[in-house]
Amino acid sequence: MKNLTKWSLFIAIATVISLSSCEKNEITSISINKTTIGLNLGKSDTLVATVNFTGEITNIPVNWSVDNNRVVSVSETGSETMSKSGGTRSIQKKVVITALQTGTAKVTLGSGEKTISCDITVEQREFTFNHAHVSNWGDYYDIEHNNFDMYLLESSLSFDIEGKLTGNGVLLYLDFNVPITQDELAEGSFTAANNGNINTFFPGERYNSGNAVEYGGARIIEVEGGLARNITLIESGHFAFVPDGEKYRIGGEMTTEYGEKIVFTFSGTTTLSDKKEIPVEINPALTKGDLEYFGDAYRSGSSNFVAYLMSEQVNLSAQKISGEMLMLEFNTSILATNSIPVGTYTMISRNESMSPLTLVYGFTSEKNENWGCWYYNYNDTTVKKLKTGYAKVSKSEKTYTIQYELYDRFGSKVYGTYTGTLNFIQSNQALSLSRTKIQRKMPDIRLKNNKYFHNNKKQSY
C-alpha cells in the first residue's frame, strides 16, 4: 500500500512538472487604467497598460497607435514594472498623452493578438470676461515706456468703491508696455516677454518676499468670496486690443505654467484710471555731507565723485536712520582727485557718455545698488531716482556752495542750495564693488526700485 502511495505521488509531481514546463508563451489579457480621458489643450495625462502573460516571454511587444495624431501625441516613458502571481506574469508600461489641438482621438494598445483602446477628448478652456479695469502707471519701471495694467473679470466679479474685489469667479491680470507718448488705450498686439519692450506684457512670476509668496506679471486668479484661492502663472502668449466704436474687443491665447493653452475674449467699455505718480517739489534742508572719490570708475577718462548731502538728524551709525539725503554723482576732470572742481554739471542721459562736468543719472545696478543721483527721505521712505537737471558748484577755501535743480521721470523736482564742507573719503574703487557704509544703510528703500517689489501699486491678487 505504501509503495502504491509513493508511486501515485511521484506521478502527480511529474505531471505538474511536465505541465509547468509545457506552459504556453501567451499574452492572456491587456488592461488600461483609463478607457476615456478628457484633456485641456496643452495638458498631458499618463496612461498605464498592464499586459498579463504566461510562459517565459522575455520581450513583451507593446505597440501604441493613435488614429488622429493632430489631436494628441503619444510618448513612452521608458519605465516598466514586472510582477508575478501564481502562473501568471504581468508587465506594466506607461505612456504620456499630450493634447495638441481640440478634437477627439483614439489611442490603441496592442500586444500579441490582444488590443484595447482609450478614447481621448481635447477641449480648450475659453474665458469670456465682462469687465475691464485698466490703469496707466506712466514709466513705472523706468524703461522709457509707459506701463499699463489690466484686470479682466467675469460677470460674477467686481471691485467695490474701496477697490476691493468681491464675488466668485475668474480674473485675468496683465501688465503691459506701450510707447512713452501713449496715455490712452489704442489698437495694438502684445506678446509675452521679460525685456519690457513696447507691445510686450510681463509673463507671470512667483517669488518670495520675506515669509510670503508674492506674484508679478500675467496670471489667472480663481476668486472665492473676494479672495484669491488659486493663482496660475501665464508663461507665454499674445493678446490684442481692437477699438470698436466707444468699446474695445480684447482677446488672446495664453499658455500657463502647466502647459495648458487657454483663450479669452472681452467686448465692452473699459475704465481707465490715471495712476501715474503725482509730481511734487522737494526743498530739503541739507547741512552736512561726505565726498567720496572713486577715481576713473567708469573708465571714461574722467574722475568720479559722489557727494552725500544730509540733513542734520542723519546719523549713519544709528540702527535706524532718520532725516533726508541727496546723493549726487559727479564726473570731473581726471586731474581732480580730492575735491569737486568749480563749474556747472549737467545730468547725462542713458545714451550719453561719461565726461567731465556731468552728473550721472540715477540707476540701480545688477547687484541692486543705487548709483548716480538719488533723493532719500528716511522718515517716510520717499525715494526719487533723478534723471535730469543740473548742479552748480562753487567753492571758497573748504566751503562748497552747491546749487541744484533735479527732476525724476515723473516730473518731481528736488531743488535747493547746500553750503558747507564735505568730509573727504578716499575710495578709488570700481563701480562693480559694493558701496561704503552709506549704501549699506539703505536696504529697505533700495528694494522699492526692483520691479518685483512694485506690487503695492497694484492689488496683489
Q: How far is CA 241 from the centre of its chain?
A: 23
User: What per-residue confidence (pLDDT) applies to 428?
Assistant: 52
Strongest mean pLDDT among 77-81, 349-353, 445-449: 349-353
Residue boundaries of the structural domains of the chain? 21-123, 126-276, 281-451
Adjacent-strand bridge partners of 105: 120
User: What per-residue confidence (pLDDT) applies to 90?
Assistant: 83
How far is Cα 82 from Cα 31, in angstroms, rounded to an integer? Answer: 15
Q: Are 89 and 54 in contact (CB under 8 A)?
A: yes
Band of the pLDDT at 450, cuts 50, 70, 90? very low
Average predicted confidence (pLDDT) for the chain: 85
Q: Are 75 and 69 in contact (CB under 8 A)?
A: no
Cβ-based neighbours of 325, under 8 Å, separated by 6 or more: 286, 308, 309, 310, 311, 314, 375, 376, 378, 438
Tens-place pLDDT, residues 82-128:
666 666 688 888 889 999 999 999 999 888 788 899 999 999 999 99
Which helix (H) or strand (E) is 3 found in, with range?
helix 2-21
Lowest mean pLDDT among 56-65, 388-397, 433-442: 433-442
Higher pLDDT, 364 or 334: 334
Confidence check: pLDDT of 9 > 80: no
User: What per-residue confidence (pLDDT) applies to 87?
Assistant: 62
Q: Are 303 and 320 in contact (CB under 8 A)?
A: no
Higher pLDDT, 400 or 55: 400
How far is Cα 122 from Cα 255, in angstroms, rounded to an integer? Answer: 15
Q: Which residues of 57-91 are buried (b: 16+ CB within 10 A; e: fewer)?
A: beebebebebeeeebbebeeeeeeeeeeeeeebbb
Confidence check: pLDDT of 349 > 60: yes
Adjacent-strand bridge partners of 129: 266
Residue 260, phi then psi, degrees to nearest 5: -75, 140
Q: Are 422 and 400 in contact (CB under 8 A)?
A: yes
Cα–Cα distance list, 441 to 73, 124, 369 (Å): 56, 52, 11
User: What per-residue confidence (pLDDT) applies to 454?
Assistant: 40
How far is Cα 456 from Cα 362, in angstroms, rounded to an integer? Answer: 22
Tens-place pLDDT, residues 357-382:
999 999 888 777 889 999 999 998 89
Tens-place pLDDT, residues 335-346:
999 999 999 999
User: What per-residue confidence (pLDDT) applies to 127?
Assistant: 96
Q: Are 374 and 335 in contact (CB under 8 A)?
A: no
Cβ-in-10-Å burial (0-12, 13-18, 19+) of 362 comes to buried
Mean pLDDT of 438-461: 38
Three-class secondary structure of residue 11 per DSSP: helix
Mean pLDDT of 156-174: 93
User: What per-residue confidence (pLDDT) applies to 84?
Assistant: 67
Neighbours of 266 (CB within 10 A): 23
The alpha helices in 271-370, defined as continuous H runs, are none
Report CA dihedral (31, 32, 34, 37) to the nearest 10 degrees: -130
Tens-place pLDDT, residues 293-311:
998 888 889 999 999 999 9
User: What per-residue confidence (pLDDT) applies to 456?
Assistant: 38
Mean pLDDT of 250-271: 95
Contacts by 248-254 with C-beta closer than 8 Å and gap 24+?
248/132, 248/185, 250/129, 250/132, 250/152, 252/190, 254/192, 254/218, 254/220
State the fold for domain 21-123: Immunoglobulin-like (2.60.40)
Confidence check: pLDDT of 458 > 60: no
How far is Cα 323 from Cα 337, in angstroms, rounded to an integer? Answer: 29
Q: What is the CA radius of gyration of the chain?
A: 35
Place of cell 556752495: 401
Q: What pTM did the predictor assign?
A: 0.76
Strongest mean pLDDT among 43-52, 310-319, 414-423: 414-423
User: What per-residue confidence (pLDDT) applies to 364?
Assistant: 85
Tens-place pLDDT, residues 185-244:
999 999 999 999 999 999 999 988 778 888 999 999 999 999 999 999 999 999 999 999
Q: Are 55 and 106 in contact (CB under 8 A)?
A: no
Give percent of the chain above pLDDT 70.
85
